[in-house]
Structures are given as structure tokens and as C-alpha cells.
Chain A
Amino acid sequence: MNITWLDKIENFLSGIFSNIKLVEKGLLGLEGSYVELLTVLSLGLLAVIPVLVPRKNRQFWRHVNQVFGIAIFIFVVFTCLGVFGMIRNFYRGLNEIGRENIIALYYCSVPVTILVTSMLFGPAFCGWICPTGALQEFMSVFTRKQTLEHKKNGYAFSYKLFVTAIFVAVVFLLWMYRLSVTRLFFIEDASIYWSEVLIILLFALVFRMPQWDLKLRRLRILSFAIIVVGAIMSLRITSPVHFGFAKVYDPASFLSTVIVALSALVIPMVWCRYLCPWRCAIAWAAKHTVRKIEFDESKCVKCLKCNDACLLDAVDQGIINVDECHMCFKCVDICPAQCFSLKDNWKKDEK
């Protein structure tokens, strides 16, 4: 039997994912340590950082927070921060209430912490913690010049981005071919369909971005509905980046992660814009947040730097669309006239 170099890569990957939980493995042996609750602690701390860091060098600290978030959830605690897994685990946690309360708390704690911190501090989870978002943001740096030019041209057709989209599609098809002949696929591996849809969207948007961009963002609701129905039907669908949290080499999840990362080269934050199911819940919480970015139009010099800085097109001449905002504060930090300010409305106006 011939072992190909692809076999060697797969064996290597399965090897490195088999034992990456550096801290929890040691602590698990301590009965009653409730090490699971490290998750809540970590997440709570990461969510408070956006409030604490000074305005100066805020973007640097944001990236540090993102890297730290990825590291702690991959190497330390066992909690799926994958966008599908959080919804599924929340439902599972609800079912455990009254049976295994610690387990119930463990499963419910992550989504509840994210929603609560989103209501307190705004949707900072997306901009400061989410590993999927951070991965896309880091990837988009490589094609930032092209995508910014694309944006300034009103998203007119771009050959460069079209070729990049073809490259992403080819990677997906070749990888799928390889996986299809080496392993069986199960319902858990349905994240490949999200990858497929993401590639279809890339092609659609390369041609029709100005007309279809906002309308296609509604797909997030459909994505959310499918995952909720799947959770209720006990279908375990693993999300992109899940393999990083779960300590197992999950080829379908790994492929989906690669496709999400490569797609971000064509359209920055493409997963968050069109397919992230978790964004529906966070957008709802963000509408009720007590911490908001306010815009003073009278100071605006119409330089449009805030428009250019926002990877999600959530800012239009200073007006922020809260359904899309990730609370990354790029617009706030880049504004030369300091038109933006943070307001904490802890007490609603009483009329």
C-alpha cells in the first residue's frame, strides 16, 4: 500500500489535534473542580476588555484580545465557540436543567454570557472575541488593497476578485474530491454545504454586490433557523472552526474553516455578512444594548474614512447600522474629527 503525501498530511493533522487541550486535561482528574466553568470566566474577562482598554492603541489591544480568545478556547477549555455549536449546546443545556445542573450551566453559559455581554457592552463578541470573525479579519489583510479599491469603485465587477473566487471554488472541489474518496460523510459534516453556499455567494456578489448585498444578508435568518431545527431534531452539525475546539481532527469542519478564510480574501467578513446564524441573536441583543456609539454629524468633515475602515459596510457616512456593527471601534478610532463617542445609557430616560 502506498502512503501518499496527502495521507501523511492528514495523519499529521490528526496527530496534532489529538492532544491540544493543555490545561483542562490536567484539571479534569480533580473531581468536583468544575473546570468547565473556566469557560464563563474566560469569556466574561474577554468581553470586559473592550470596556477597559484605552482609546490609544485600541485596535492593537483588540487584535491581542482576538488572538488570546482563539488561544484560550483552542488550548485550554472545551467549549465550542463555533457558531453552530453554541446554538446546539444551548438547546442541549436547556434539556439538562434539573438532571445535571452543572452540565446545564456549562452548556448554557457560553451563549448566555455572549448575549448578556452584548446587551451590556454592545456586540463586542463579534469584533473582539469570535474566532471565526478574527480569522476572516486577519485573512482580509492580504487583499485589503484590492477589496478597498473594489469598495471605492462601488463594487463594480473586478477580474482580480473573480479569479480569486475561482481559486476558492477549485480548492473546495479538489478537497471535496479527496475527502469523498478517503472518508464517509455524515450529517455532522453538513458544514460543507455552508461552504458550498458561501462560494456560490462569492460568484453572485462579484457580479451583483451593489444590488444584492443587503438583501442577501437575510440568509443569516435562514441559517439560524436550520441550525435551531437541527438542534431540536438532535442533528449534530459541526461548524467551521469546530475542529479547533473539539480536540479531534474533523476534516469537514477543517475544510469549511479554510473556505471561510479564503472567501474573506474576496469579500471581507463574508461569513459574518451573509451566513453566520449566531449574528441574528447578537444583532437582537445589540439593539437593546446600553452601550452605543453615537455620531455627531455636525463635526463630520465627510472624509468617508469610517466607510472605508468598516469591513462590514455597517457605516454609511457616520450612520451605523446596528444590525451589522461588530463594535470593533475602527470607525471611532479612525475618525479625524472625532465625530463618534461612546455612550453608556445605564438608565433609560424616564418620560
Chain B
Amino acid sequence: MRNKLFFQISISIGLLLSPITVISAEWYSGRGTGEGKASIIYSGDRELNEWHYIYKSNRRYKPGLAVWASPALAVVGGHPMAFIGGYDQTMHALDLVEKNVVWRKITNGEIQSAPAIAKVDGADVVFWGSADRTVYAYSAFSGRKLWTRELIEPSSTLGQIFISSPYIHGNNLYISCFAYDKSIPRNEQRGFLFCLDTKTGDIRFRLAVSTGILSDPVGFEIDGRQYIAVCARRGLLQCFDVNADMPNKVWEYQMPHEVLASPVVTVDTDPPMLYLGSKYGNFTAVNARNGKEVWQKMAGNWIDNSASIGEINGRKTVFVGSHDYCVYSFDAQTGNLNWKKPVGGEVFSTPTFFRVDGEPYICIASLDNHLYIIDAKNGIIFNSYFTGNPIWDKLPKGEYLWGSPASIEAGADTCIVYGSFNDMVYSIPIMKPCAITAMARSVKSLWISLLAVFLIFCGIIMPVVLKIPR
């Protein structure tokens, strides 16, 4: 109670001190809305500059796991902030204007997914799940605890825990959690969908959805009714009507193969559709009303991560990356391929969709250790950034989801925020000079460099080598 009072006071002070607080895009999930754009708008007058953030905690990373989960962004107290957790078991709240850490919260487990930021009693609250089986709710502004809730009872035989990114609608927070109890009497592998009260953390319902790992839940509204969709790792996509006290399964759809990603949804197509990719590269659009397949396309290799949905020339467009080195742009309604762009490595991230001066772009991360900014209209690469080698040399592909970039639309200050597997969190202003801009060559400069090597070798190196006496 005291904590709550203190929390409310600190929020009130925060709001008083920050009269220009702007929440330009409502945040419901780790990737923003159900469309998964992971982009916010910042209209303040503070400048956003390049920042490389690193934090060396005493926690030891497990080899082979990614370092940072995806960030969630919000404008808090007038400043764009990034909330990012990782395998150091800590949630970091980063002020991207002042380039400092506002607060950190250590948990007792890895943070595998992006947090979500939503309003509770008018204040911005960060919600996240940790592999310590607990959901945390903290003030975005001050880092004061609102509540924490343990989802699964502890046991000495509990194995690995997978906990998703939260999805928030109204006063309800939906989150999935998979726990594997290895003991013989309690031998249980269950993936649960939870619904919690965002104000108190009380569990409203707990539903066993699968015997395996579950994706992030995604919510949508059709004809005034609320639905939550969640996909099991084995590819079973299920949709629940959550208007009553207990959810009611409406439909299910079996994906062709295993799924690591989470579905994204748009209700602006006819019918409303969910999009999801699977291993072996199937990319499927499912009718959100009845779970029937509307169209399916194939990429050349695995699709690990989620898609994102943007709007190009008035039409909904869905973007997704694949392990075949390519980013795809499909018409969300028909599934027609708009463009396909190969980059230098496997595309493992969800694209973030954003606009600069009205022009649409996406940003993706690739296993060639680069971030690519791509013109969303035609697939032309606008810029790329070198984000470092992985701290582990042997990242197992297709087994974990690594962090994806998020974006802040701010005109000339437009920024990408990305936690790379080289241990750094990068805030990259894409319209300004940047220290990590990749030394990628255009077609012309590539041929010029080959000519330069020819001239230097034939004109200087070879004559010198031949002249040196033995």
C-alpha cells in the first residue's frame, strides 16, 4: 500500500515536472500495436543523438544466447525512452535524449522479450516478464515498483522458463508462460495464457493452451468483441474470445511447420487478418474471423521472427525477413509480392516500420552484423550500420529469437534503437552522420575500388617487390 502511494506521488511529481509529456502512439505490446511496427512518434524539440550503451553486470551470459531482447520505446516525461531487458536479467530504462540510465531493475531470470508500456491511472507503466516466472510492473518515469506477480509456483525441479512479451488492453494484461517441471510426479509441460489486472497484478484467468512454448499474445477487436491470438511453438495458432470471465476458443489453425515468431494483426483488410511465418519459410495470412487461410507465400528459408505491417500508398503492406538473406514486402490483402531485397546475411529480426518526412522505411537486423534501413516502397537500401560481432561465435540459428530494432519517428532526429549481440545498445540517428555507418559499397564504388587495387598493385606494389634485391 505504501509502495503504491509512493508510486502515485512520484508519478504525479513526474507529470508536473514534465508538462510536455507526449504519448503519440499508444503502446499495447512489446512491438507497439498489434501491427508490430515498434515505432513511436516524438514531436518534442530535444535533439536525439548517437549513443552506444553497454552495461557489464556480474551476471554471466549463457553461451549461445542473444544478449539483448527487443526494446520498447515510449515518450516519458518529455523524453523518448527505451526500455530493454536482456540475458543479464536486468531491465534498463534509458533516456535517449540525456543519454543516461534512468533506472535499472534486476530480476532473477533472463528477460527474453520486449516489455510493454501502457497507461495505468494516467501514468506510464512498464510491464515485463522474466524467466524467474514473474511479471513486473514499474513506473516508467521513476522505476518505482507498482506490483510483481509470480505466475508459476516455484519448484526445485523446474526447468527452463519461456515468458512472452505482455499484451495490454484496457485493464487487462495478457502474457504467455511456458514452464517445464522435470520431476516425475509433477512432470508437466504446459504453456499457459494468463490474464492479469494491470492495476493490481491479480490473476484474472490462467488457461492451459499448449504443451509447448507459446508466442507473444496479440489482441484485436472485431465487431466490438475482443480476441486474443497466440501460437504454440509446434505451429498451432489459436484464437480466444476474451469478453467473458474465462476465454473461449473461437478457432485454431495449424501452421505447416514449427513457429518461433508471434502473429501480427491488422483489422484494416477485408477480412481482418493475422500474419505468421514458420520454419521452412511458409508465410501465411489467416482470416482473423474464422481461422481460415487467406493466402500463403514461401520464402527461401526459415522465417524466424514476426512480421510488421505498414501502409504504403494507402494499402496495408506486410514486411518479413527470412534466413534466405531476404526481406519481403507483400500486399497485406492479396499476398502479392511488392519487392524482395537480399542483404548480406540471414534476416533474423522483425522489421520496424517508420516514416521520415512522410516517406516510409523499414529497419531490419541481419546476421552479417549489420542493420539495414530500407525504403519500404521499393526495397532500395537507404543505409546500413555495423553493429558488431556476436559475443559468442556460435549463435544457434533457428532456436532463439534475437532482439529486433525499434524506431522513433522524429523528422531529422529519427532514431533506431537496437540491442545488438555484441553487448551494446545502439541509438542511431539515421539522418545524421554516425560512427557505425557501414562501409558498404555501392555498385559504382565497388568497381572504382577494384580499379584502384589494380592500379596500386600494378603501379606500386609489383614494381617495388620486383625491384627489391634478393
Interface of A with B (CB < 8 Å)?
1, 10-11, 14-15, 18, 24-25, 28, 78, 103, 176, 180-188, 192-193, 196-197, 200, 204, 212, 214-216, 218-219, 222, 236, 248-249
Contact = CB atoms under 8 A, between A and B. Distances in A.
Interface residues of B, number: 45
A186 B64 contact: no
B64 to A, nearest CB: 7
Nearest to B450: A196
Contact of B300 (A14, A28, A219, A236): A14
Given A196-B454, A197-B457, A248-B346, A215 B339 contact: no
B458 A219 contact: no
Closest 8 CB pairs of A and B: A11-B300, A184-B440, A185-B441, A180-B443, A193-B453, A180-B446, A215-B466, A187-B439
Nearest to B439: A187
B149 to A, nearest CB: 30
Interface SS of chain A? helix
A323 to B, nearest CB: 12
B381 A215 contact: no
B397 interface: yes
A183 B342 contact: yes
A192 B384 CA distance: 21
Given A28-B396, A186-B439, A14 B465 contact: no
Q: Which of A78, A181, A188 has the most CB of B within 10 A?
A: A188
Contacts of B64: 28
A305 B339 CA distance: 61
Given A78-B393, A216-B465, A184 B441 contact: yes
Contact of B394 (A78, A192, A212, A215): A78
A181 B442 CA distance: 9
Contacts, number: 93
A18 B279 CA distance: 13
Interface in B445-470: 446-447, 449-450, 453-454, 457-458, 461-462, 465-466, 468, 470
B344 A14 contact: no
Contacts of A14: 300-301, 323-325
Interface string B96-109: 00000000000000
B440 A196 contact: no
A180 B462 contact: no
Contact of A18 (B301, B340, B381, B461): B301
B434 to A, nearest CB: 16
A215 B462 CA distance: 9
B28 to A, nearest CB: 34
Contact of A15 (B301, B449, B453): B301
B366 to A, nearest CB: 10
16 contacts: A1-B337, A1-B339, A1-B340, A10-B342, A18-B301, A78-B393, A181-B443, A182-B342, A184-B438, A185-B446, A193-B450, A196-B450, A215-B470, A216-B465, A236-B389, A248-B346
B368 interface: yes
B117 interface: no
